[in-house]
Amino acid sequence: MRRMEGDSITAATQRVYDAIARRNPSLAFLNYGYDEPSAPPEEMDEAEVFAASQRLYDAVLHGLPHDATVLEVGCGRGAGAAFVLATRPIRTYVGLDLSPEHVRLCRSRLGSDPKAHFAIADARRLPVRSASFDAAYSIEAAQHFEDRPQFYGEVARVLRPAGRLFLGSIWRTGELEAPDTITGGRLRLVSHEDITPQVVRSLARSSVVRRRIVESLALPDHLTPVLMSFVGAPGGENYEAFVSGRLLYHRLVLERM
């Protein structure tokens, strides 16, 4: 995420996501998706990209408890929340996001669902009571968090004992060589999986759709390389970093001690 001079990571992230949401409010998902390497090589259309984005939620949330009180940190535009609520027996869902525009879109999408609640929040300071959730999750958002250890500490605070955090995120090579060291002493590692091949396959098969997303934003041409990287389009910096092994996409499950 590029920043203006004097800007914080948090402020830059909020500004970018708000701008994209205002310019393309109909876009349901911004995640990179999940596709098995054995999938056919043909380019995906928009419906298939939507399904790949849902599959990423399925992959990261494998083992999410039933009849649970669930917190999502970085809920985006609400398409993920809608998918989770439609496919899993959730008692109560709370979605938090840094972007006011995202929260507005979430409320527009799911405002009539009595189980769903949304609020603007910084991942470093979660505005919810301690020990109030059975599970928490964050999908493709933690790489933007300004202080990840503080985020882990906040999640540990809001989870009930033995509650679990389901995390899907982008990491630089070497950051997860000892994944148990990221837990801050209040979370223990339950499982850890490298899903980079599945994410790269999704990106490789969705090149046309991702380029259309960049074009739909109608931003100045000099921003195109940044946006191509941001959406994971083949040829962009992030995609090439995945292919070269400089970036990895991992799924982790952590449990409150």
Retrieve residue 83's tokens. Answer: 């998918």
How far apart, in whole angstroms, are the C-alpha atoms of residue 216 and residue 222? 15
Q: Is 22 helix (H, G, I), strand (E, B) or coil?
A: helix
Q: What is the 3-state secondary structure (H, E, C) of 174-235?
A: CCCCCHHHHCCCCEEEEEEEECHHHHHHHHHCCHHHHHHHHHHCCCCHHHHHHHHHHCCCCC
Rounded average pLDDT over 50-64: 97
Q: In the chain, what are the domain boundaries?
A: 9-256
**pLDDT tens digits for range 119-152:** 999 999 999 999 999 999 999 999 989 888 899 9
Q: Does 4 have pLDDT greater than 70?
A: no
Beta bridge partners of 165: 136, 254
Instruction: State how far the alpha carbon of 188 is from the alpha carbons of 165, 176, 226, 227, in Å.
Output: 10, 14, 36, 36
Highest-scoring range by mean pLDDT, 69-73, 177-181, 217-221, 223-227 = 69-73
Average pLDDT, the chain: 92
Q: What is the pLDDT of residue 7?
A: 57
Retrieve residue 109's tokens. Answer: 């999408």
Q: What is the pLDDT of residue 2?
A: 43
CATH number of 9-256: 3.40.50.150
**pLDDT tens digits for range 152-168:** 999 999 999 999 999 99
- Say what the pTM is: 0.93
Retrieve residue 4's tokens. Answer: 């203006």
